Amino acid sequence: MSITLQSIGTIHTPYLSFNTPHQPLPDAPGDFWITLNPEYASALKSLDNFNYIYVLYHLDQVTPPVELLTHSPWAPELEIGLFASRSPQRPNPIGLSIVQLKEIQGNELIISGIDAYNGTPLLDIKPYIQFRDSIDDANNGWFDILPDKEHTIAHALGLKHEHAHEHSHEHHHPHEHDDVHKQTHHSDPNHNQHSHHDRPSYEDGQDKPDHRRHHVHND
Question: Is 91 contained in some domain?
Answer: yes
Give me the pLDDT at residue 15, please. Answer: 81
Dihedrals phi, psi of 144, to nearest 5 degrees: -70, -20
> For residue range 102-133, what is the model confidence (pLDDT) as tens digits?
999 999 999 998 989 899 999 999 999 999 99
Give me the pLDDT at residue 210, please. Answer: 44
pLDDT-derived band of residue 154, with 50, 70 and 90 as boundaries? Answer: confident
Query: Domain check: are 39 and 25 in the same one?
Result: yes
Query: Domain check: are 205 and 179 in the same one?
Result: no
Query: Domain check: are 14 and 70 in the same one?
Result: yes
User: Lowest-pLDDT range, 13-27, 62-76, 195-209?
Assistant: 195-209
Query: Domain check: are 127 and 173 in the same one?
Result: no
Query: Domain check: are 85 and 169 in the same one?
Result: no
> For residue range 142-152, what is the model confidence (pLDDT) as tens digits?
999 888 888 88
Question: Is 122 contained in some domain?
Answer: yes
Question: Is 40 contained in some domain?
Answer: yes
Question: Is 55 contained in some domain?
Answer: yes
Of 37, 32, 41, the residue nearest 11 (C-alpha)? 32
* Burial bucket for residue 178 (CB in 10 Å: 0-12, 13-18, 19+): exposed
Q: What is the CATH number of the domain that holds 17?
A: 2.40.30.70
Query: Domain check: are 18 and 43 in the same one?
Result: yes
Name the β-bridge partners of 58: 94
Query: Domain check: are 52 and 111 in the same one?
Result: yes
Q: Is the pLDDT of residue 54 over 90?
A: yes
The whole-number average pLDDT for the span 171-198 is 35
Q: Is the pLDDT of residue 155 over 70?
A: yes
Residue-range definition of the domain harbouring residue 25: 9-134+190-209
d(CA 161, CA 152): 10
pTM flag (> 0.75)? no
Question: Is 16 contained in some domain?
Answer: yes
Number of domain units in the chain: 2
Q: Residue 214's CB: how many other CB atoms inside 10 A?
A: 16
Query: Domain check: are 72 and 90 in the same one?
Result: yes
Asked if 120 contacts 88 with a C-beta cutoff of 8 angstroms, the reply is no
Give me the pLDDT at residue 27, please. Answer: 73
Asked if 34 contacts 108 with a C-beta cutoff of 8 angstroms, the reply is yes
Query: Domain check: are 147 and 55 in the same one?
Result: no
Query: Domain check: are 86 and 58 in the same one?
Result: yes
Mean pLDDT over the full length of the chain: 76
Question: Is 70 contained in some domain?
Answer: yes
